[in-house]
Structure 1
């Protein structure tokens, strides 16, 4: 019997190919999108869960008295080692590192790479496996380095390269060969080797190599290191937090102990809570979108199945006259709908395989392959097939199988009215969801356009930046200044600036600043930017008063600084002119150094628009002798030709250092990675939502026309025009669309208003996204309906009247 059910179901699907394709394709798109988002969410939830003893692994974060004083991911360098030494009953292990970049050379290959200088406990503590090398000794030799599998292939073309050497440059410009002692196998995303999007390390050095790198280690006043600890079994993190506070009070300066409060976050939770919970927000947003897309697809499927079933009343009547039992008819409908859902699910898996690389690129994360899913996903998919199949088939199965044979053969529903209102309500829900997603996509796009607009307080157009080889000494800075002058003479270049920072939010350090003569209690936490006298002109940052350093640096001017308007006001000078010539104190460790304000710039967005503009002080790079970038302001014209000329000049003046340039838009893209991913995902979701809605409308209008073919013929014979018949069908659906738009607009306003509240600087919501979305959906729906009805209206009325 079951075999005959499947055979009849297949024949019905094949007989009504158009409806079957529309229904199966619409549902498969919804399932595929949900699977992809589900894979992304599952991958994000699994971050750090594969680490050894993941339940006991913690990252030490910092809560600053003033958030401008430092970043939360950095903590005191000496703290984790002291915890292990003083509280061995609480702490099982520790690891801390300083993230750096350096030029790596192998023969003719030179690249600037990200790396970690840290403790030799890295491999053992997290259970990281080596493809080649000894885990116990790989990080103990002072001239050894552990690299990832990717880097081994990049520089050598193979992975078994133990004993080979790579050349590294330190911060004084010296170079040395390091022997490769370990090859890390490809690691899943984690918060140790991949702390965040800007800290993806491929090279790892132990602290025994400090003779070459020259870091100050185990320092109680250096809060620039990233630190982790592993707790003993059964230890409460709150007890360890208390121990950390005691160690800081005992060993650090009173200022550090007062300003910084360390606390622990489990590595199993850290990925979701880092950076203000941006990953968690992304997961919730994408999950909600995927759920609504799937719900729309399921509603479409159910709606068309119900509508299609009423055309099979005669079939049911004939089968009942020939002895068919009611339970057999019920099973027939259920088997057909389950079979269609099964086909849709299988097709969705194919879409998943094809679309996975594209979505990995869009979301900036590797989407899990099908075989990487846990086995329990298969029962869930089968349960989904059965549930949706039953939902689509149960109504027609129960209603049509209950009809009297005479009524069924006549094709009349005398006992039960067709649920037109219910089906239209489902269509309205679909349109509402599509409109909300469409409106959201437009608003997200407008907000992101604000990030990349010309209202940042500086001009990012035609600016290219490139990292420099390091020689952080007076001679090194002087050499770079000479090279800068030569670069600035090029006809393709307007100006060049030497600096430690570019406007990407990553400043060198923060420090308390107060007016000379005021108490330290009145200090303002400020960002310190290190740059030369060309920085303001290169980035076109307007000056409100004074000058941006002297045209030529003199040692006597070393304590001359510039500040932004926010800093000026924070220190009590409401007019920029009042700040010129005033003395300010910058806290540096245990001492405060006096500086003179020489200029005040207009405010500009150095970091993200999530935050308010912070107080900024510009210090001359010749005084602090630390730099990272050349920023080039190019002249308008052939940009590629200009870059080629700069690259040639670079190779002449800075040999053995790669010219790896980026435009300022690239830096902003890194700053707003999550927003850009959300924008792409919102666009895709909007397109899918519209496609699913239109497929639903196409299916339902086709069914409606098919049922009313005879009515159309009679109307034509009685003199109805094509436009009149078309309007008859338009009224049925456009009313639903307009009602859906009226519901969607206030809902979308509330949702997007809440999303925009995360930004200090944001767009104002206007009517245009709402009008554009609803009008576009209405217009496309009207065109689709018109095309279908015009075709039916032009048909020969004689054929229409013979329809039965």
Structure 2
């Protein structure tokens, strides 16, 4: 029986080549889109599940409430984690991590070598790290690897880079230079290809070391210094919800005095380890790049709409051609076929076609995978296509698509009365049915909505690109000083750079323009309540900094080399303290900490400038005089950057012969501030284009059938004097009216959805009416081009061929 169904299905599909080809192409394109999105989305799930008892591990999240602003952070104050372990028996283990992140790379070299490298993703961690995160060890053992002072473990990748094929275990290496130089003993090498995780250390240094580790251990303040990432593991049977409910009283017990001193409120929450990658939107101080579950939902909805458009094409073409199969159905019913048998037959045809499209989509998706990785900035391997989840998804998608696309046509076709068919009196007239029109309207709603959304997203990205950043990002090069020793050579290195032809300005700062300034402190004005402080970020700069980066000075003077308590602030700072601009110079700001008061004198006010995501408003910033900055910032005017960089490296090596010349172009760093929106815009353009292509295929098939149905009418009209334009108008008018209906539905929907999306941007565009007019005009042009091709073909056909049988 199944073999017979298959034969009939194959013959019918082969007989109607145009309809089969259009359906197959539409379903294949839709399935490739769905499969591509599905692979990317699935790749974003399953993070951190490879760790033992991962469901019992949580990260402590801090939320600071200050001046009616809520600032969630992945960091906590240093003493919180171990205090929780002491107070709560349900906490079995804790670990703290200090992240030496991107932009804060450390200089690493093997002890007996002069060749050094800047290495990122360095962690400073408690000795309990491997009790929570069971990385497999290639050399050494995780037990006790971080117990001894000055111990370090390396990733397999870094160990191979430093030692090649030699064993790294028990060898020594040097981290940093000058006064910050540390000689460390390698206690292990761990496998860094250990599944998907938000923890991707290149090396892990024990907290039982000098410098930052010693500082972390000594800090006992429960309110400030929220730069430590704290993790805990619950004891078996313990409830995270119950523990979280105890945290307000815990924080009040240990940190009431500290919180009162800084003047802001603070709350602690527990975040599941497995939720960190997808549910960390808006949380600052992340240890690695995270995704956004809402962004994935948008992609899945986009995939759903594309597949629905392909299904609608199938339904429309199948119902439109129902009359073609009326006699077949009548005969089959007359010889005993029941409605269920016919439904199974027609569903089998649609599922067969859909499964065929699914099979074709696998190699096509494999070919498109490199482009998909570029588009999504992912790193999806070909093996992902053959993951059991993906293969099961492809099979399910094929069956489900075939079922949805074929169900309605199967029900309609199986309901034909055989007696009417055999008498020759049946006329289904499904080509003009309201359902078909409704489905076409749905296609146009999707197309117009997607076109409108793409225009709005593109506008917002361009608005971000054109936005005044508060500094001139073009022609700026940031050169990393990186170590204490090299920072001490700042003036000598700066002097050398100033002599290089093509360099117009040179200065220094602790952060390059657009780099997030993590450091902040609570400040008040004289006479203000010490408990009512305002958080202000702080950054060190050299005197020529403003002139180099192009940040405006609104009032006052710039910093001088002998300034100590004298500072610059941005406009957002004086606004936060309600200080008028004309009274800002000479005003004082106070920092009160543990009874001690530090005073800063404002000598100038700069314009506001961005140093964080464009989804955040510009925060207050204080700039102080820095004699040993972390970066040299230089402005260049040249047509040959390669030659300029070679000259700069040569000048660098004169002063710093054993330190790598490491630089970045500031405009590239600025682009990272709106990279997510730019990526979403590219994805939207590509998949919207494919959705429109699928819609055009459906329109092409429908118009082909309508033209065939009306060929005698068209021939008679031509004989009576109708022009080509008349015929085109006859076949186009119904479809153009459907575009108008879709425009009325799609415009308010797209406006509402995009207005919600834009709410994340404090600096956003206003949605204009002409966006939707462009969308509907594009839809009309696409419709006219698609319809006109078949309409003109029908209009110029010889009417004699259609009328000679009459």
Q: TM-score, normalised by structure 1?
A: 0.90
Q: How does 1:405-444 map to 2 (within 5 A)?
A: 405=418, 407-408=420-421, 413-414=426-427, 418=431, 420-444=433-457
Of the structure 1 ranges 676-685 and 644-653, higher mean CA displacement relative to structure 2 is found in 644-653
Aligned CA distance change for structure 1 residues 190 and 514 (closer, same or farther; 3 Å): same
Identify the residue that residue 546 of structure 1 maps to in structure 2. 556
Q: Is the 8 A contact 1:171 1:213 kept in 2?
A: no
Between 414-423 and 430-439, report the one with greater CA deviation.
Answer: 414-423
Determine the structure 2 residue equivalent to 1:352. Answer: 365
| CA gap 1:343/1:788 in 2 versus in 1, 3 angstroms | same
The two structures, once aligned, show a CA RMSD in angstroms of: 3.1
Quote how far apart the aligned CAs of 1:374 are: 7.4
Change (3 A) 1:666 1:5: same
**Secondary structure of 1:208 counterpart:** coil
Pairing of 1:217-296 with structure 2 (within 5 A): 217-221=217-221, 222-235=225-238, 236-238=242-244, 241-242=247-248, 244-245=250-251, 248-249=254-255, 254-255=260-261, 259-276=265-282, 279-296=292-309
Partner of 2:82: 81
2:130 aligned to which of 120, 123, 126: 123
Asked whether the 8 Å contact 1:142–1:206 carries over to 2, the reply is yes
Report the Cα distance in structure 2 between the residues aligned to 1:206 and 1:372, rounded to whole angstroms: 40
Query: What residue number does 2:42 align with?
Result: 42
2:106 aligned residue: 102
In structure 2, how many angstroms separate the alpha carbons of the residues matched to 1:681 and 1:25? Answer: 21
Is the 1:730–1:782 contact (alpha carbons within 8 Å) kept by the matching residues of 2?
Answer: yes
State how far apart, in whole Å, the 2-side matches of 1:410 and 1:503 are. 82
Q: Trace 1:694-773 onto structure 2 (pairs within 5 A).
A: 694-773=696-775
Which residues in structure 2 correspond to 1:237-636 (within 5 Å)?
Answer: 237-238=243-244, 241-242=247-248, 244-245=250-251, 248-249=254-255, 254-255=260-261, 259-276=265-282, 279-317=292-330, 328-367=341-380, 375=388, 382-405=395-418, 407-408=420-421, 413-414=426-427, 418=431, 420-471=433-484, 477-504=487-514, 506-550=516-560, 553-554=561-562, 557-575=563-581, 577-587=582-592, 590-622=595-627, 625=628, 627-636=629-638
Q: Residues 154 and 186 of structure 2 are in contact (CA less than 8 Å); yes or no, is this contact kept in structure 1?
A: no
**Distance change in 2, residues 1:392/1:59 (3 Å):** closer
Cα-to-partner distance string for 1:202-229 (whole Å, 9 max, x where unaligned):
1111123337976442412343211111
Q: Structure 1's 498 and 439: CA in aligned 2 closer, same or farther, altered over 3 A?
A: same
Judged with a 3 Å threshold, the aligned counterparts in structure 2 of structure 1 residues 780 and 3 are, in CA distance, closer, same or farther, namely same
| CA contact 1:313–1:408 (8 Å) conserved in 2 | yes
Q: Distance in 1 between matches of 2:401 and 2:28?
A: 12
How many aligned residue pairs are there? 785
**Distance (Å, rounded) in 1 between the aligned partners of 2:83 and 2:389:** 44
Kindly state the Cα deviation for residue 594 of structure 1 after the two structures are TM-superposed.
1.4
- Aligned equivalents of 1:786 and 1:694: distance in 2? 12
1:313 and 1:411 in contact (8 A); partners too: no
- CA–CA distance in structure 2, aligned partners of residues 799 and 658 of structure 1: 81
Instruction: Tell me the equivalent position of 1:55.
Output: 55
- Residues 479 and 385 from structure 1, CA distance in 2 versus in 1: closer, same or farther, beyond 3 angstroms? closer
CA shift, 1:715, in A, is: 2.6
CA change 1:111–1:410 in 2 (3 A) is farther
Please give the alpha-carbon distance, in whole angstroms, between the structure 2 residues aligned to 1:655 and 1:611.
41
Q: Tell me the TM-score normalised to structure 2 length.
A: 0.89
Pick from 186, 191, 204 the counterpart of residue 179 of structure 1. 186
Cα displacement (A) at 1:800: 3.1
1: CA distance between counterparts of 2:465 and 2:180? 35
Native 8 Å contact 2:699 2:783 kept in 1 = yes
Q: Deviations over 1:708-732 (max 9, x none)?
A: 3333333323322222211211112
Deviation at 1:263, TM superposition (A): 2.7
The structure-2 alpha-carbon separation of the partners of 1:334 and 1:697, relative to structure 1 and needing over 3 Å to count, comes to same
C-alpha separation in 1, matches of 2:384 and 2:640: 48
Deviations 1:168-212 (A, max 9, x none): 215735364653621224133323x15xxxxxx311111233379
2:156 to 149, 152, 155: 149
Q: 1:17 to 1:210 in 2, by over 3 A?
A: farther
Identify the match of residue 683 of structure 1 among 682, 685, 690.
Answer: 685
Residue 800 of structure 1 is aligned with which of 782, 799, 802?
A: 802
Instruction: Call closer, same or farther: CA 1:646–1:211 in 2, change over 3 Å.
Output: closer
The runs of 5 or more residues in structure 1 that have no matched partner are 195-200
SS state at 2:269 partner: strand
Offset from partner CA, 1:640-663 (integer Å, 9 cap, x none): 433333233333333233333222
What is the distance in 1 between the residues matched to 2:520 and 2:31?
49
CA apart distance, 1:71: 6.2
SS of the equivalent of 1:516 reads coil
| Residue in 1 that maps onto 2:287 | none
